[in-house]
């Protein structure tokens, strides 16, 4: 069994002796006008417990383009940088930047900056090896 502290296994979990991804990209169809353009596709990064970790800042016309954007993000993960931003008087959030452009945002605000810093760092570790799930059959 591989050593769990080996950097090659960063972003992976061990379940029943198997290595599995610690997160997955989930594609979803936007449904309402409040969510930008209804019918467009976007992605969310979900933990294995289905907790929403982060979201794309862009929408895509179809699932194929959204999947291509996720793969491009993963291929360029070494160029990603997490930054922490203040979102309120006592709220913090993180953003992922790729070559200076915001490509993902946190799904929630944090009461402490250190928690937002940590969450951004965790997402940076998860992005390269996260699985890419397809649209749910109910969303097609």
pLDDT at residue 136 greater than cutoff 80: no
The count of structural domains within the chain is 1
CA 94 – CA 92 distance, rounded (Å):
7
Closest to 131 in 3D by CA, of 11, 51, 29: 11
Any domain includes 70: yes
User: Does some domain include residue 16?
Assistant: yes
Each residue's pLDDT tens digit, 36-86:
677 889 999 998 888 899 999 999 999 999 999 999 999 999 999 999 999
Cβ atoms of 44 and 25 closer than 8 Å: yes
Phi, psi of 130 (to 5 degrees): -65, 140
List the CATH number of the domain containing 117: 2.30.29.80
Beta bridge partners of 104: 56, 96
Residue 15 lies in a domain: yes
Residue 12 lies inside a defined structural domain of this protein:
yes
For residue 129, give the DSSP letter.
G
pLDDT number for residue 21 = 60
Banded model confidence at residue 133, pLDDT cuts 50, 70, 90: confident
Q: What is the pLDDT of residues 2-44, one digit of tens each?
A: 444 444 445 444 444 544 467 899 998 887 655 567 788 999 9
40 lies in some domain: yes
């Amino acid at each position: 069994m591989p050593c769990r502290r080996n950097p090659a296994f960063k972003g992976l979990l061990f379940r029943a002796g198997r290595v599995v991804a610690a997160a997955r990209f989930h594609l979803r169809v936007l449904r309402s006008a409040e969510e930008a353009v209804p019918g467009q596709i976007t992605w969310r990064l979900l933990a294995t417990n289905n907790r929403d970790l982060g979201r794309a800042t862009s929408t895509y016309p179809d699932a194929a383009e959204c999947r291509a954007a996720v793969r491009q993000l993963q291929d360029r993960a070494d160029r990603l940088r997490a930054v922490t931003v203040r979102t309120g008087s006592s709220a913090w959030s993180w953003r992922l930047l790729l070559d200076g452009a915001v490509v993902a945002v946190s799904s929630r605000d944090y009461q402490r900056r250190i928690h937002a810093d940590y969450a951004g760092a965790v997402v940076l570790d998860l992005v390269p090896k996260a699985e890419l799930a397809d649209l749910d059959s109910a969303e097609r």
